[in-house]
Amino acid sequence: MGKPRGQMYFASDPEISWEDVENLSSTTYNGAKVLLELLTEEGVEVIFGYPGGSLLTLYDALLDSPIRHVLPRHEQTAVHAADGYARASGKVGVCMATSGPGAANMVTGIANAYMDSIPLVILTGQVPTHLLGTDSFQEVDITGMTMPITKHSYLVKDAKEIPRIVKEAFYIASTGRPGPVLIDLPKDVLAAEVQNSNPPKLCLKSYKFFSKGNPGQIEEAAKALAQSKKPIVYAGGGVITSQASAVLKELVEKTNIPVVTTLMGIGSIPTNSPNFLGMVGMHGTITANLAVNDCDLLIAVGVRFDDRVTSGLKHRFATKAKVVHIDIDPAEIGKVVKSHIPIVGDARLVLEELVEKVVPPETEKWWEQLLNWKKQYPLCYEPDGHLNPQMILEAMGTYSDGDSIVVTDVGQHQMWAAQFYPVLNKRKFITSAGLGTMGFGLPAAIGAQIAKPKSLVWLVTGDGSFQMSIQELATTVQYQLPIKIVLMNNGVLGMVRQLQKMFYNERFNQIQLYSNPDFMKVADAYGIKGIKVESPEQVNEALKKAIEIPNPVLIDCRISPDEIVLPMLPPGKAITDILGGNE
């Protein structure tokens, strides 16, 4: 069963026990109550959802359920909130919406989670089964629409199938390479009365994945590392997903090898680690990019060699290196960059074996070169008396501890956060990486704050992204979520303007946000405290005041539209062509 992602299922048959369903009463319940009981059994504590006609039976049953419901103000943001919840907690996020436009509005959020391998279970209402395929009111083929962007999807046609489908959905979403699973629920299925019984044990024979890597390949990787002179670890989001951060740190400390990360990999190793060279790729550090170009061994862990790092140039990326690629999805091995030592398996389990077998290489001369690059090409900005976004992010870091979470939207502010905000632990940097979804930030911050109510949650956003989900300010107020929103307000679509400036001869077009509202008045309209920051001297006071307020706060930072993100690797250029250094 199932639509495999890259045909990644090869290992032992997972067996699902149904003993936990025996405690359900043998009395008759409708499908909605059975569904909620099963969600509770799966450990679901919160659902982000938006009601509608096809889901009213389910919403009626929710009144008697211990599951908490959070009402965002749009179906897309319901998915983003569940996504942020999953990233911050490590659990499966759950969201739902009604049929037709409600389900269709979720598509962008589902695609976002799919690209970043985030475990979600999405529940959608559907028209009654006898109306399927008739173009009835608020009918869309949501399983068909989302087939390319879900790990698997179900259309439930019999309420008796709900227990099996729910168990399968959570198992598929959270194992192997995680991802979203959709369950489409016709209105009559939710209303149908069913007798709870103990279903037979189920074996998902076609759903398989490697957990442990091949011992021979791991041995070969250990030998390659021992013999290398210029090794480097290239860590991605898979390190965080597989809970491999601790063993990665152990490997790095044992061998004293440098580490670079992808955008999704930020937090897999503390950014203040002496072995951390920075993010690699389009807006990565010059040192990280030069190191990848010059290394003789590249140990890629939980990455997919996306074009933001490689520029899509198979033959001009890490050309001097032997590549070790560790990933749970065999479809990613060799897809973009040739792998000399492929290891299919869970990153944590593979790294644990590698640590046991590895002999530290001689890296003194390599470190001399790396430290020289770090000195020559530091991440820097000019403190010229203006309000610098980089300075704001550095100041935020001084008020944060290892438990603080930073969530970003997409644009220049996202890259500045990746470069300058200190991330000390896994699951503390949440961003839309693969799809690059503007409007992701605020609802994702809502999900993260609900997942971690005791953590300080920052949202770093821009005036373009912020207005794509600005209605979610109401959600922060309704649920008393003390998110601190740092708005980089420059009156333009900053990243688009930067690209037009650098590569289109400053022929600016459709990037001015002339009719931006007064965000202080917007905040006040929602009952949120607003703080305006217009000079460097006001930053620390504003951040300190915001943290002291036990409610959501909007900090409107007026930055210049001329601020640009450097370094920058021009699209389609080799990794050594990165622009911006200490000039």
For the chain, the farthest-separated pair of C-alpha atoms sits apart, in whole angstroms, at: 74
User: Model confidence over 540-577: pLDDT tens digits?
Assistant: 999 999 999 999 999 999 999 999 999 999 888 888 88
Q: How many domains does the chain have?
A: 3
CATH of residue 231: 3.40.50.1220
The tokens describing 133, both together, are: 């395929």
Task: Kindly state whether residues 170 and 255 are assigned to the same domain.
Answer: no
Listed in order, strand segments (DSSP E) in 187-239 are 193-195, 202-203, 231-235
CATH of residue 110: 3.40.50.970
**Helices 75-89 and 107-115, interaxial angle, to 10°?**
20
Do residues 127 and 139 touch, judged by C-beta distance below 8 A? yes
Task: Kindly state whether residues 357 and 468 are assigned to the same domain.
Answer: no
In a domain, 315, yes or no: yes
In whole angstroms, give the CA distance from residue 275 to residue 342: 24
Q: Residue 537 belongs to what domain range?
A: 389-558
Look at residues 376, 402, 421 and tell me which one is the last residue of a structural domain.
Answer: 376
In the set 22, 137, 205, 320, the catalytic residue is 137
Amino acid at 70: V
Is residue 529 within a helix (H) or strand (E), and if so which, with residue range? Answer: strand 529-533
In the set 187, 230, 428, 484, the catalytic residue is 187
In the set 138, 467, 471, 478, the catalytic residue is 138
Burial grade of 56 (CB within 10 A; 0-12, 13-18, 19 or more): middle
Q: How many CA atoms lie within 13 A of 377 on its CB side?
A: 20
Task: Kindly state whether residues 125 and 197 are assigned to the same domain.
Answer: yes
DSSP assignment letter at 200:
P
Q: How many CA atoms lie within 13 A of 406 on its CB side?
A: 30
Task: Kindly state whether residues 409 and 326 are assigned to the same domain.
Answer: no
In the set 37, 42, 75, 472, the catalytic residue is 75
In whole angstroms, give the CA distance from residue 178 to residue 195: 32
Task: Kindly state whether residues 258 and 329 are assigned to the same domain.
Answer: yes
Q: Is 487 left (phi over 0), alpha (psi -120 to 50) or beta?
A: beta
Task: Kindly state whether residues 554 and 428 are assigned to the same domain.
Answer: yes
In the set 115, 488, 495, 568, the catalytic residue is 495
Q: Is 541 a catalytic residue?
A: no
Task: Kindly state whether residues 96 and 166 are assigned to the same domain.
Answer: yes
Q: Is 138 a catalytic residue?
A: yes
Task: Kindly state whether residues 328 and 424 are assigned to the same domain.
Answer: no
Residue written as tokens 């065999």?
A: 330
pTM listed for this prediction = 0.93
In whole angstroms, give the CA distance from residue 376 to residue 379: 10
Q: Is 170 a catalytic residue?
A: no
**Can you give the pLDDT of all 583 residues of the chain as single tens digits?**
344 443 333 233 344 444 444 444 457 889 999 999 999 999 999 999 999 999 999 999 999 999 999 999 999 999 999 999 999 999 999 999 999 999 999 999 999 999 999 999 999 999 999 999 999 999 999 999 999 999 999 999 999 999 999 999 999 999 999 999 999 999 999 999 987 656 556 678 888 888 899 999 999 999 999 999 999 999 999 999 999 999 999 999 999 999 999 999 999 999 999 999 999 999 999 999 999 999 999 999 999 999 999 987 767 889 999 999 999 999 999 999 999 999 999 999 999 999 999 999 999 999 999 999 999 999 988 888 899 999 999 999 999 888 999 999 999 999 999 999 999 999 999 999 999 999 999 999 999 999 999 999 999 999 999 999 999 999 999 999 999 999 999 999 999 999 999 999 999 999 999 999 999 999 999 999 999 999 999 999 999 999 999 999 999 999 999 999 999 998 888 888 888 864 4
Q: How many residues does the chain have?
A: 583
**What is the secondary structure of 129-191 as a DSSP string?**
GGGTTTT-TT---HHHHTGGGSSEEEE---GGGHHHHHHHHHHHHHSSS--EEEEEEEHHHHH
Task: Kindly state whether residues 399 and 425 are assigned to the same domain.
Answer: yes
